[in-house]
Amino acid sequence: MNLKNLTADKLVLLYANRDLSVSEVISSVFDEIDRSDGKIHAFITLCRDRALEEARRTDSRIAAGEPLHALTGVPVAIKDNMAVRDVTTTCGSKMLENYIPPYTATAVERLRSAGAIIVGKTNMDEFAMGSSTENSGFFVTRNPHNLERVPGGSSGGSAASVAAGMSLVALGSDTGGSIRQPASFCGVVGLKPTYGRVSRYGLVAYASSLDQIGPFTKSVRECAQVLETISGFDHYDSTSADTPVDSYLKCLDQPLNDVRIGIPREYFASINGGVDPDVKANLESAIKRYEGMGCKIEEIGLPHTEHAVATYYLIATAEASSNLARYDGVRYGLREGGAGGLNEMYRRTRMAGFGKEVKRRILLGTYALSAGYYDAFYLKALKVRTLILQDFQKAFEKVNVILTPTTPTAAFKIGEKIADPLSMYLSDIFTITCNLAGLPGISVPCGKDSANLPIGMQLIANHFQEALLLQVAHQFEKAGGFGNVSVGM
């Protein structure tokens, strides 16, 4: 059975018509994983026995005439920084290689309550720190479109699993673009919600004021369905927003009459090297397509964009240095003992447990927070973050949605940037402002480059305007036919 061109909504309809059994589908998913994942390396942990047992129980309920839920029997992959009870959660790190949580993340629990079946936990950059999934503590994930290319990061395993047909839906986390950038590289849909829209309970923290959970799917319709399922207030998360959840599916097919789309001049200029010509050409075609659909296109300014990378890497690393202090060899996770006392045990544990990129970011963050540098670096970054938010607020007085490239280039080669951290950091230049401002953003496929690699378009809306964001993305997908990107392997 080929699931690469099948979407979640169509799959549930096939179950309802008794054209497929859940057991048949879940078995075929694991057959595909066995066939393909030896080359792609999307998964760290598989939940084979558990998933097949859930499939059998679901078939029994369907046979008994019980109603189907929104995601009944849909195979889902979970980024390995989200807790799933009794399933190893490693965060892509040797530090947590054997950690098994006693609880399940709220977003994951809501997927399961809607009938979804977890097939496995996906590979990621260690503690979500990276843009290529080359920083995993275990192995490198490869892009299903070209095995010599990265899938993006840090949620590269989740994006690759959907693109390769090893899951129909996946969850990722996005701190500075870690859903949207791999979605662009792998030719799938990826959405980062408004900060607080989806509970962070059970998500292992990287930078707490920036992290958000969101979906990877093949189509915008599936994305809307999954987001509607996982959104909403959660009393376990103090940053969860007590704001009503819209019916995202009902809004998708409304026409785009008089929707105003802003094009930020800074994102297409020569900032940090500008964008690849193929990316620019595809984005210009997308803009013309929107014009043909009746949208009004306006140039806007986001003048503080040039400071976004520096601002992000000060705030994110500062928060990371605080969050990762808990990995001390005492409470849980790896412990490296030996002579030398408590401080020596801390040192040995962290030297053995953390990879190079995680150590680099802890050191950067600790330095930015240290006495004598807090005001000069961290506090100044917080002030610039406010200016970036104000840029967006001013822009949304003129336009409804902002359109940008998701990334400056298509997927780069494995090893190309790993020795140049600054070059790697700049690959997130167009996505990090969303996180700094707490805004929702989505990446949808908008074409391919000369090497036949996917290119993504990013759409950004105001806070809690996911319904509009999904509507605008869905109408483009329908008009352009770029949904359901399949991979021939």
Omega prior to 154 cis, within 30 of 0: yes
**In 308-379, where does DSSP find H-type helix?**
308-323, 341-353, 356-369
* Interatomic CA distance for residues 361 and 3, integer angstroms: 39
Residue listed under structure tokens 């990826």: 190
Tell me the CB-side half-sphere exposure of residue 233, using CA atoms within 13 A: 5
Active-site pick, 132, 154, 167, 219 = 154
Cα 92 to Cα 130, 160, 162, 244, 358, distances in angstroms: 11, 15, 19, 34, 11
* Interatomic CA distance for residues 244 and 272, integer angstroms: 39
How many residues are there in the chain? 489
Residues 6 or more apart whose CB falls under 8 angstroms from that of 99 comprise 88, 89, 90, 332, 333
- Whether 192 is a known active-site residue: answer no
Strand 296-300, strand 260-264: pairing: parallel
- Whether 121 is a known active-site residue: answer no
Active-site pick, 132, 178, 219, 427 = 178
* Interatomic CA distance for residues 290 and 277, integer angstroms: 20
Backbone angles phi, psi at 415, to 5 degrees: 90, -10
Active-site pick, 23, 36, 79, 192 = 79
* Interatomic CA distance for residues 53 and 55, integer angstroms: 5
* Interatomic CA distance for residues 144 and 425, integer angstroms: 23
> Do 222 and 195 touch, CB atoms closer than 8 A?
no
Tell me the CB-side half-sphere exposure of residue 224, using CA atoms within 13 A: 23
- Whether 178 is a known active-site residue: answer yes
- Could you tell me which of 116, 107, 163, 164 has the C-alpha nearest to residue 9? 116
- Could you tell me which of 316, 99, 314, 311 has the C-alpha nearest to residue 211? 316
User: Which active-site residues does the annotation give?
Assistant: 79, 154, 178
